[in-house]
Structure 1
Amino acid sequence: MAIGAVLGAVALGATVAVAQAPAFFRIGTGGTAGTYYPVGGLIANLISGNSGGVPGLVATAVASNGSVANINAINSGSAEAGFTQSDVAYWAYTGTGLFEGKGKVEALRAIATLYPETIHLVARKDSGIKSVRDLKGKRVSMDEPGSGTLVDARIVLAAYGLSEQDVKAEYLKPGPAGDRLRDGALDAYFFVGGYPTGAISELATSHGISLVPIEGPEADKMLSQYSFFAKDTVPAGAYKDVPETKTISVNAQLVTSAKQPDEMIYNIVKALWAEPNRAKLDAGHAKGKMIRLETATAGIGIPLHPGAEKFYREKGVLK
């Protein structure tokens, strides 16, 4: 009863302060083995009232199937915010790509760009796969249906003159894909996420891996064709015995709905970027150092939430 009353008050546009009771802010993240979940937990802690964030706010990180699932949850009202790849957010807002024929998610709004999400093409160390073209005829996991990674994997293959029909495609989540790679039942798999990610680190340490570069004129063409891609480099040593690897990335973003009250989102953004939280972001996760106010509005392909926009204008991040 109390929870229903609180959520009802929030839905009617009451601020956290006016509600005089906990306001629950569910943040959809990703699988527990990926990067979204721990970073989401870090952010939830920073903005929650009991940690010095927004008074009365109880933010929680919720494990999910990732970008598409989070956007759908925001759209349906079963989550207040969520993590997504910048490409997936753009497709949802415009009704293209993964959301072709499904209608536009016109209420989708950005809170912040967080950090680059690197496209990993992970291969068995003994696979002989040195370039994307070497995937021809190989057993390759493209990630599960409905994932942003699957769409990105198709774009990467196409840039190098390949399609799913040219590889022995499987459609597995990163965890099971890593298991099959370890067992010798898979040659390579695509993963989009911040480095280093725990599951790949474990695989590199226990069995050894190679990262396949995504570079050259093919990568340059992708960057010119798709504005949500950027050049990226996995530094030497990010994974055990893996040298520096050139690749591409998309942005991880925190998004919400236009239906969320302006004052609430303003207060959440203000809490996230509060000076005392800088040290907590730096220490909380390997990607935390890349979550910076000066890049919070970079590469956003959808409108900012008005509450977030107000804060960024006040801070001079937006002119």
Structure 2
Amino acid sequence: MKSMLRSLFDTIEVLLRFLYYSLEELILKFSCYKKNVAGKIVLITGSANGIGRELAIQFARLGSILVLWDIDEEGNNETGELAKANGALAVCAYRCDVGKREEIYAVAEQVRREVGDVDILINNAGILKGKTFLDLSDSDLEETLDVNTASHFWTCKAFLPAMVARNEGHLVTTASVSSLVGSNKLTATTASKYATFGFMEALAFELQDAGKKGIQTTIVCPYLVDTELITGAQTLREFFFPILDAGYVAKEMVDAILKEKLYLVLPSYARLLVLKIFFPKKIVYLLAEYLGLFRLFDHFRGEPKRGQKTKEN
């Protein structure tokens, strides 16, 4: 009887807190509150072009100290110059192949020594193969998982301890709408993005349970972004799922970080894709075909070799 009463009271408390937090979020949505990142150390992986470059420019305008990681040194240095021109307090560009754990650890130690403890870690680097599963080589699969997923483990291992020690920091990951739904010729990418989403969400819960509420987590799930990474990809129902501009995605990401959102899905209604689990199999396939998920990469022209500018997001 006591356990039933306890359960009832717990349920009532949760419902009341649910309503309170919903009202609080509604008020915050229309408020001007945004955290100040001036002088904060922001590390961005995959910063040589695309979303990463746009993020660097956005944070530069907010007066942040930028740490830029990319395998493409030339493109990364160009991003650094753009960041300086847009008001970054300081810019430090490093060559780092995030597909290699030991390289991540080595460059992370260099950053701590030369710049300091990272305040905002943005895991943005990614690759996409655009092949059917049986056409993917073993090295394709391993490389995709190393860059898109495992790199998040190693960067968090490197920079999270300092955040935990001071109970302050922000972890951000550029996942994908493919974290929510699969697509033809994206088996490796979808697997890596699902894993990334799950890792970051579980880590957020872990930090909350540990009382480290000063450490924020933001998981970003954009649809296809107009970068060289998706050259040749075509969206069938553009009025539902248009290919997104990298500048727009970066702007929305920065806004989500400043407002300390847990999830950012672009376009926002794409989160409805998770409802697929309630539908019969034939309806799932019907909707997937209608939305073009079978044909996105029919004209994909292949990914560049490692180190070329189109490698990172």
TM over 0.5: no
Give the helix-richer structure, 1 or 2.
Answer: 2
Greater relative contact order (Cα < 8 A, sep 6+):
1
TM-score (norm 1): 0.28
TM-score (norm 2): 0.28
